[in-house]
């Protein structure tokens, strides 16, 4: 079973709640299981360090992915995040 969590700053925001549900569905379609993803906003340091508006990172010690997006960005298509996770876990 997968778990998608919204960081506090995104909780209660309809578009992010919808994105979290879509991401859970996309992860099932990719047959990903036992994965925890926390969706959060990029920190100021992350925004200064890179031009990317999205960051997907894996924290081995917590066995958790973080998907961070710029504060002025909307959610991407959920399947694109599931696809990135699948490629990370199942490189070919």
Tell me the DSSP string of 15-43.
HHHHHHHHHHHHHHHTT--S-EEEEEEPP
Q: Tell me, what's the pLDDT at 41?
A: 92
Q: Which pLDDT does position 45 carry in this prediction?
A: 83
pLDDT for 51: 66
Burial class (CB in 10 A: 0-12, 13-18, 19+), 60: exposed
- Match 């997006």 to its residue by tokens: 69
Residue 15, pLDDT > 90, answer yes
pTM: 0.87
**Residue among 42, 46, 30 at smallest CA distance from 78:** 30
Q: For the segment 21-79, what is each residue's pLDDT rounded down to a tens digit?
A: 999 999 988 888 888 999 999 988 888 776 668 899 999 888 899 999 988 888 999 99
**Any idea where the domains of the chain sit in the sequence?**
3-17+32-86
């Amino acid at each position: 079973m997968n778990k998608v969590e919204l960081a506090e700053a995104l909780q209660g925001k309809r578009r992010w709640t919808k994105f979290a549900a879509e991401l859970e569905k996309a992860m099932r379609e990719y047959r990903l299981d036992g994965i925890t993803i926390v969706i959060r906003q990029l920190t100021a340091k992350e925004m200064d360090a890179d031009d990317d508006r999205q960051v997907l990172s894996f924290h081995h010690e917590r066995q958790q992915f973080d998907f961070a997006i710029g504060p002025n960005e909307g959610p991407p298509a959920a399947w694109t995040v599931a696809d990135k996770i699948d490629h990370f876990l199942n490189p070919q």
